[in-house]
Amino acid sequence: MSSLYELYLLYVRERRGTVAALFLLSILGTVSLFAVFLFWQLGESIAGDIQRSLGAGTVVVMGGPFSDRDLAAALSLGCFSGGYGVSVATGVLRYPNGTTRTVTVAAVPAGVRGVAGAAAVANAYYAKAGETYRVAAAGKELTIYVKEAAVQTAFIAGLSADIYIDRALLGNLPYEYLVLQKAGRSCVKELQGLFPKTAVMDSDELISALWGQLLLYLGSAALVALSTTAAVAALVYTYATTMYHTHFKEFAILRTLGLKRKGLAALALMLFALPAAAGSLTATALALAVEAPVVSTTQIAPIPPAVVTAATLLASAPALRRLYAITPAEALRTE
């Protein structure tokens, strides 16, 4: 075993540049594969945030103030099954320890986002679920119970809020924007004609545009991952084939001296697989050390190194098969 290890070190020293290239390419390939999965998770998180804020299949009319009469006029177009107005106010959140923080408060009808009475929904950055807070907004001092605290990935100016409460707590405030549930087509042009100085946004189109942009990044990361993994495989194949032809005589002598087939194949496998595996594991350790609130590398951690290692093994398979097939008789003929 010690002689096998000494041979391994000898070959590694002879090809330090190749080993270093395998190590670095494996790191890059593994990181790129992680990026593919993380971009997908990020897209799902942002799309989920938008759907929670606006609802799927909705049209949002921004640029109020709006009144109940405006809401009724929008619903009368016949394109919507329902809708509601959202009032927005700047407020002060008071913590139990006496500290305060300026927040954006959105008042929505009971039932929207799960708010009802004193039960509110908050951004996890500002409040914790299950705790009670004091909120000062629109000239009123309120006590709220945070029913749910969600991590917010997407922030849409004029639409996103830090705290969502039942609009009955703040009274009859003007609406900053209207959220209309589509029954068929979105009636965007009709809404723009009805409210000429406002912005009309279809949430489905917004989410589609978002995914289009994210898929562009995801495709770029996938291309880098594919290219680097292919480069690792190509380098391993070239390295293995070259080593087989260059050192065939040495391998034949080793077989003549009693080195088993398994030992010879293990030596070659160590030369190809160890640098790639070390690079993949290094990249995986770095990815696991990076923490983010909306993406997780824990569940996907085994996949990128497995892909890179599999590419290494497949690329080295032809050379390993030839090495394994060397017999003492063939070695003697070579001599």
- Quote the pLDDT of residue 298: 74
**pLDDT-derived band at 55, boundaries 50, 70, 90:** low
**pLDDT-derived band at 117, boundaries 50, 70, 90:** confident
Hunting for tokens 């010690």 — which residue is that?
A: 2
How far, in Å, CA of 149 to CA of 126, rounded? 9
Question: What is the separation of C-alpha 3 from the centre of its chain, rounded to a whole number of angstroms?
Answer: 46
Is residue 268 within 8 A of residue 240, CB to CB? The reply is: yes
In this predicted model, which residue has the larger pLDDT, 191 or 262?
191
* Single pTM value for the model: 0.60
CA angle 91, 207, 293 (to 5 degrees): 60
**pLDDT-derived band at 241, boundaries 50, 70, 90:** confident
In this predicted model, which residue has the larger pLDDT, 166 or 267?
166
Q: For residues 93-108, b (16+ Cβ closer than 10 Å) or e, as one string?
A: bbeeeeeeeebbbbbb
How far, in Å, CA of 301 to CA of 287, rounded? 8
The identity of residue 251, as a single letter, is F
Region 253-282 average pLDDT = 73
Hunting for tokens 């408060």 — which residue is that?
A: 105
Strand partners, 83: 180
